[in-house]
Amino acid sequence: MSSKIFDLIQEEADRQKYGLEMIPSENYVSEKILKANGSILTNKYSEGFPGRRYYGGNEVIDKIEVYTVNLAKKLFGVPAAFVQSYSGSPANMAVTMAVCEPGDVVMGLALSSGGHLTHGANLNFSSIFYKAVNYKVGDDWKIDFTELGALAKKHKPKLIWVGTTAYPFKLDYKKFRKIADMVGAALVADCSHITGLIISGAHESPVPYVDIITTTTHKTLRGPRGAMILVTDRGLKKDPEIKGKIERAIIPGIQGGPHNHQTAAIAIALEEASLPSFKKYGVQIAKNAAVLAKELGTVSETHLILLSLTKYGYGLGYQAQYALEEAGITVNKNTIPGEPASPFYPSGVRLGTPALTTRGMKEKDMVKIAGWIKRVLEEIRGLDLPKEQEKRKDFLKEVKIKLHQNQNLKQIKKEVAAFAGKFPVPGIG
Ligand SMILES: Cc1ncc(COP(=O)(O)O)c(C=O)c1O
């Protein structure tokens, strides 16, 4: 088999093996998942739901989807599950459409406080077609429940999102429930980032408190790209029609044919997540994050760390991401609460441990990795973002050239590659 693409896949495999993948929303899936995801199931069209398809030839596909739905229901202890959403964003769109009419008020954590785009961010469908109200974190970087309660009373949302994408603390679902009940809102947990932690008991489950849950399947759950929507007993009681509403939002509301290869791969991820070894995995993710955070001078109660770089200088997130990449460590630049620089050139980085933990790394390895990260960050001292906006582009171009030639970063990259290469990656070796 030859194609330029296979050469490029090999190049990417080397990057994944000899680097440290620390973007907290990423992971390495098992060989079984890779196989199902790359299978002939991609050939089939099956618009509709099991037993109710628009196309013929779906006997086997029906069995696959029913099996996947049943695994999801059992693993989470919920009465209904939907597994056709192409990814997390369309799952969130489907839930919003199922719960709200256009123009209704939707509340979610602000993007700048660690929320997700689909929870009411500017330019996203959630603020274009709905009236979005954002709550925020306070000076301690934790969700400000006083503000959240006041906003809910004032705006009477139909839906409140509880879910985060750059938030290192545990979520208190009980407090959210109280506020949702106060105003009669549907409470929806978007657990995308922490589903693996919830399954392993390293984070409280939202099931007793919320009406609906959405989750991507490709983050801490360690499955293929995709998403699930789960309805709790409580959600079903609150709205007995909700199942049909979610189905109609998925199709014809948003999507056409489901990605059956993806559904099958989700089933394997759910099988794997049902094993005792997965519990250990989830607990280890959190232990690793706590050690890494401590070594970097901050805290994490989850799988991720939001690291402020203000002690190194002004607006250094982009420079840090690039310098770390030059050293074989992949993270992403991120705003910090009360961002002092700019959303495009922010003051922090976001990093996490799910992928490293899949490779078998433990606490002592986190100490080593923190050492490399700190050495890299020393190299960006003095590379502060210019305060004048018009100077930034040229400045960052020069910074990249400088960092690319930096001999200390080249040395760290060698050490990182020698270390990372010892930990196998599923599907790569
Ligand atoms: C909390 C949360 N919800 C939803 C999503 C969207 O998922 P996707 O990128 O698969 O659309 C993300 C992705 O980062 C997320 O962090």
Distance CA 96, CA 88 (A): 12
Catalytically annotated residue among 47, 204, 239, 271 = 47
pLDDT digits (tens, 9 = 90+) for 286-340: 999 999 999 999 999 999 999 999 999 999 999 999 999 999 999 999 999 999 9
Whether residues 282 and 263 share a domain: the answer is: no
Strand partners, 400: none
Q: Does a structural domain hold residue 165?
A: yes
Which residues approach ligand 1 with their CB closer than 6 A? 25, 87-89, 92, 116, 118, 163, 165, 190, 192-193, 216
Q: Does a structural domain hold residue 342?
A: yes
Whether residues 78 and 143 share a domain: the answer is: yes
Position 162 pLDDT exceeds 80 = yes
Q: Does a structural domain hold residue 9?
A: no
> Binding site annotation covers 342?
yes
Location of structure tokens 């280890």: 284
Q: Does a structural domain hold residue 14?
A: no
> Binding site annotation covers 309?
no
Q: How many domains does the chain have?
A: 2
Q: Does a structural domain hold residue 13?
A: no
Whether residues 249 and 285 share a domain: the answer is: no
Whether residues 267 and 316 share a domain: the answer is: no
Tell me if residue 225 is catalytic. yes
Catalytically annotated residue among 190, 325, 339, 365 = 190
Whether residues 66 and 119 share a domain: the answer is: yes
Residues 6+ apart with CB under 8 A from 406: 323, 326, 379
Residue ranges with strand state E in 126-166: 131-135, 159-163
Q: Does a structural domain hold residue 6?
A: no
Torsion region of 328: left, alpha or beta (phi above 0 gives left; psi -120 to 50 gives alpha): left
Report how far ligand 1's centroid is from the alpha carbon of 50 (Å): 26
Tell me if residue 18 is catalytic. no
- Boundary-marking domain end, from 250, 273, 296: 273
Cis amide leading into 208 (omega within 30): no
Position 1 pLDDT exceeds 80 = no
Distance CA 417, CA 404 (A): 17
Q: Does a structural domain hold residue 8?
A: no
C-beta of residue 424 within 8 angstroms of C-beta of residue 359: yes
CATH of the domain at 59: 3.40.640.10
Tell me if residue 215 is catalytic. no
Q: Which domain holds residue 236?
A: 31-273
Whether residues 181 and 51 share a domain: the answer is: yes
- Boundary-marking domain end, from 255, 273, 291: 273
Per-residue DSSP letter, 301 = S
Report how far ligand 1's centroid is from the alpha carbon of 422 (Å): 31
Whether residues 60 and 111 share a domain: the answer is: yes
pLDDT digits (tens, 9 = 90+) for 275-285: 999 999 999 99
Whether residues 71 and 140 share a domain: the answer is: yes
Q: Does a structural domain hold residue 10?
A: no
Question: In the structure, what pLDDT confidence band is assigned to residue 127 with cuts at 50, 70 and 90?
Answer: very high
Please identify, by atom number, the ligand 1 atom nearest to the C-alpha of residue 164. 1
Please identify, by atom number, the ligand 1 atom nearest to the C-alpha of residue 90. 11
- Boundary-marking domain end, from 227, 250, 273: 273
CA distances from 414 to 14, 60, 172, 329, 376 (A): 14, 49, 42, 11, 13
Distance CA 11, CA 15 (A): 6
pLDDT digits (tens, 9 = 90+) for 170-184: 999 999 999 999 999
pLDDT digits (tens, 9 = 90+) for 200-227: 999 999 999 999 999 999 999 999 999 9
**Measured between alpha carbons, how far apart are the two ends of the chain, in Å?**
20
Location of structure tokens 């490779």: 359
Strand partners, 226: none
Whether residues 263 and 317 share a domain: the answer is: no
Whether residues 74 and 186 share a domain: the answer is: yes
Other beta carbons within 10 angstroms of residue 393's beta carbon come to: 9
Whether residues 293 and 264 share a domain: the answer is: no
pLDDT digits (tens, 9 = 90+) for 341-386: 999 999 999 999 999 999 999 999 999 999 999 999 999 999 999 9
> Binding site annotation covers 111?
yes
Whether residues 356 and 372 share a domain: the answer is: yes
Distance CA 49, CA 80 (A): 13
Average pLDDT of the chain? 98
The pTM of this model reads: 0.97
Location of structure tokens 């603020």: 127
257 — phi, psi (to 5°)?
-65, 135
Tell me if residue 216 is catalytic. yes
> Binding site annotation covers 313?
no
Position 18 pLDDT exceeds 90 = yes
Catalytically annotated residue among 68, 96, 215, 216 = 216
Q: Residues 6, 8, 10, 14: what is their CA dihedral angle, to the nearest 10 degrees?
A: -170
Distance CA 377, CA 319 (A): 9
Torsion region of 360: left, alpha or beta (phi above 0 gives left; psi -120 to 50 gives alpha): left
Tell me if residue 45 is catalytic. yes
What integer pLDDT is reported at residue 287 of this predicted model?
A: 98
Tell me if residue 190 is catalytic. yes
Sign of the dihedral defined by the CA atoms of residues 58, 64, 70, 73, in that order: negative
